[in-house]
Structure formats: structure tokens, C-alpha cells
Amino acid sequence: MAGVLRSLGIEISPLRQGATVRVVGRGLRGIRRPTVTLHCGNSGTAARFLLGLLAGFPYTTRITGDASLRRRPMRRVTRPLSHMGASFHEENGDGLPMVVTGGALRPLSYQSVTASAQVKGALIFAGLVAGVAVSVTEPARSRDHTERMLQALGVSVDVTGFGVHVEPVETLPTFSVRVPGDPSAAAFLVGAGLLADEGELVIEGVGMNPTRTGFLEVLRRMGADVETLETSQVLGEPVGDLVVRPSRLSGAEIAEAEVPSLIDEVPILAVVASRAEGETVFRGVGELRVKESDRLSLLAQNLRRLGVEAEAGEQTLTVRGAERPPRGVVETALDHRLAMAFAVLGTVRGSDVRLSEDRSPLVSYPLFFGDLRSVVHRG
């Protein structure tokens, strides 16, 4: 994300562990014409937000990503942006590389078929840089970080049910923020704490946005001893600490309506479910087939390799808990969330879980393995 924004003339200081990052913007309508192909690496968020951002500028820009990102669908973003007046040339069907030509955009009122914060955010950004109103209605409530941030910065944002309406503004104010800890990253440590033999784990400064903490509600239904302590607010985002204690878990059913609030946590939930008593069923999780890998199929396949009963349907995942320690080789397909989830399963006493690779977590959680080792204690 920082790399592509620098290519658009935005000044961003080096990204270093523990360092403050300084971003000097160019205003809502001051982005520089890019002179190179913009490479988004593995980041679907960067690619889809960038499509929205560039739709409002009279530039022609080529966008690409790594092999994994090039397989991910983009028409869910480009179709509504085309309704606003932008045009797109696909080089690889419904995916990257893609050439976007932007310009003056029309206001948009859009009924999305997918509950996706990336789609919603891309359309909101397009409206802001083009100076037009945007309304988006979804089939379920998706993550709302963009709306909360804009509201905190004084933008007129009206949220009603599953819909959001954003009015254009001339400028956005500068701000200073301490970014909360990522709940998706914290979920893996929560899983390790629940599967431990003893002790208590405290994870500090985690974002507690209710559109991101559906996994905690599911875990509590399963019998997890997880306590949340809200401590502050940051740009409209609740922030707090998580207290996790080892727990005896039971299977549960996850409804389709819950999935948007926990879609990235399905891998760790499935792993935890493999140690629960009884059956856990995830419904409406077909979106997992178009993530960094076909997560749905790989979750079931890998669990079976480790001795766990699991089946993947077109839109469902079923996991039956096992008592014997998991043992076997896991194919991560270079998917960071699969690697981290099965690494957590490898902390169970008596287990022997071997990953096909251990570098993929670097894309989202570079310190993961060190943090995992620091919280796992064997008796």
C-alpha cells in the first residue's frame, strides 16, 4: 500500500517495526499521474481501494499484483465504478492485471450482492475524490472502519441498517493516530490460549470494532473463556484488551449472517473446532474459495490429513472434533492464514504438525512465530 501511494506522489516515511509513520497527503484531488505499473503485492485491500481512488482521476493506470492476488475477483468493484463513469480494461478476465481510466464521476446508489468492506470502501473513496455522493447497501453488515474514520474526521456519513450514504467534502483534516492491534492477528493468539493446558493470556490494545469481533461471539458459544476489556476509542474505533484462558469447547453452528464479521477468522475457528467436542458447521463461507487460496477446500483437506473429520461443501464447512493429537503435513498453498492457523494447532500437547512452508505469515504478521512461541507453555 505504501509503495503504490508513493508512486502517486504521496510522501510516506519508511515502515519500520516500532517506528512512527508519517504520511504527507496531497489533498482529495491532488494525486499525481502514475508513470509506472502499480504493484499491489498480495494485498486485496490495496488493489480494490486503489481502483476506487484512481476512478476519480483523468489518468490511465495499470495495476497488478502477485500470482495469488491476480486470481482474486475484481469485477465486484469495477462494475459499480463503471456505473459511476470509470472504464476498465481487463488483461486476465475477472482479475489483475487491469488498466483503469478515470475521470469525472457520477453519484452512485448501489445495491451490492456481496457484503464486502473492500467494495464499499472503494466506492466511498471514489465518491470522495470525485466530489460526488455515494450510497451503498449490502446484504449484511460488513466491516465499517472506513465509515467510522470518516465520521471521526467530520465527514457526513449516514449509516442505516445495512446501508451507508457519504456526502462529498472539500478537504479532510490531518490527524495523529495510534493504530489499534489487528483483531484478525489477535485471533490466532486467542486460539493458542484456548488450546493451552494452563495459564492466562492477555493481549493488549486490540481493535474491538463489532464488525470484526464475530469470532469472539462464536468462541463464547463454544464455551471459550475470553474476556474483553474496552479501554479507549481511536478515530471512532473501540480498543481494548483480551483475556484468554484455556477452555473445554463444544461444537457450534455459524450462520451465514455472521460470516462477514469473521470471514478471515474461519481458519483459526476451524482449527479450534477440531479440538472441540462434537460437530461445528460453518454456513455461507463460499467466499473462502476466492481468498489467497481456496481456503475452504484446503481447510478440510488439511484437517483430514491431521486425523480430523472435515468436509467442505460449495458454501459450507463441517468439522468434527477429535481427541487424539493432530499429526501430519499441512499444505499451506502460501496462504498466511492457513499457515498461522495450523501452526496454532501444532501447539496442542502431543501434536506433530508440519507446515509446507513458514514464510507466508510475513505478509500480514511478521512476528507471528515469535509471538506464538512466547505465549505457549508446555508442562
Q: Strand, coil or helix: what is 59?
A: coil
Distances (CA, A) of 29 to 15, 38, 55, 104, 213: 25, 19, 12, 11, 34
Crossing angle for the helix pair 266-273 and 183-195, nearest 10 degrees?
10
The DSSP call for residue 250 is B
Integer distance in angstroms from the first to the last C-alpha of the chain? 42
CA–CA separation, 48 and 53 (whole Å): 9
Q: Strand, coil or helix: what is 62?
A: strand
CA–CA separation, 250 and 121 (whole Å): 36
Catalytic pick from 144, 225, 241, 264? 264
Nearest to 182 by CA among 246, 142, 120, 242: 242
- Pairing outcome for strands 98-101 and 134-137: unpaired
Maximum separation of any 2 CA atoms in the chain, in Å: 64
Nearest to 207 by CA among 193, 224, 187, 191: 187
Respond yes or no: is residue 264 known to be catalytic.
yes
Indicate which residues carry an active-site annotation.
264
